[in-house]
Amino acid sequence: MIRIVMADDHAIVRAGFRALIEQEADLEIVAECGGIPEARIAVQMAHPDVLVLDLSLPGGGLALVPEMREALPGMAILVLSMHDREPWISEALRRGVTGYVTKGAASDELVAALRAVAAGQPYLSSDLQQPVAPRAGLEALSEREQEVFLRLARGETPKQAAIDMGISDKTVYLHRASVRAKLGVNNDLALHKLALERGLLG
């Protein structure tokens, strides 16, 4: 049984989510909350497998992600949001969410996302996964560029990557520009999508 805490400040969204989950034998909502303080308490008390989080919670749902990551490292965090554009998506991924589904996604996709993130697999809803048409394959990247690509795709900032790799921020930015040019993308979310499609984020 996959145990879920639902955090969304709109009662109608929570009701629709509950109606959907009640149809699935392997999914169970153990708590619902409409704000950040209640979400903290629910996670501490219930120790769910998945926290479904609305980024628009009063006080900012995004700020809750690193805190929840630290409090319960084994819990998956699935964003369910009306925001389908940058910088929301990249920032959520950078802070450590396991998956991101828009409120416009089909209900069966939400169920699939819950099962995927509960199993530790990253998930982006299909409306965020626009086809990627790279100018060159990953084999066109140098060994150092491949490392930068994977680090950025996993949500690391250039500064974090520079520290871990023992090189300067400027060098990481240069590698990132080269990676983007070779792969035909223009932001780190696109790098994440490409890595996801190639099965590199397992």
C-alpha radius of gyration, the chain, whole number? 18
What is the per-residue pLDDT across 90-130, written as a single tens digit (0 to 9) for each? 788 878 888 899 888 878 889 999 998 999 888 888 777 55
CATH number corresponding to 138-197: 1.10.10.10
Q: Which CATH class is domain 2-128?
A: alpha beta
Beta-strand ranges (E) seen in 40-162 are 50-53, 76-81, 99-102, 123-124
pLDDT, tens digit (0-9, with 9 covering 90-100), for 19-77: 999 999 999 999 999 999 999 999 999 999 999 999 888 888 888 999 998 989 899 99
195 near 150, Cβ under 8 Å? yes
Angle between helices 36-46 and 64-71 (to 10 degrees): 10
Other C-beta atoms within 10 Å of 139: how many?
Answer: 6
Mean pLDDT of 85-89: 76
pTM over 0.75: no
Domain range annotation of the chain: 2-128, 138-197
Q: How far apart are CA 150 and CA 192, in angstroms?
A: 8
pLDDT confidence of residue 96: 84
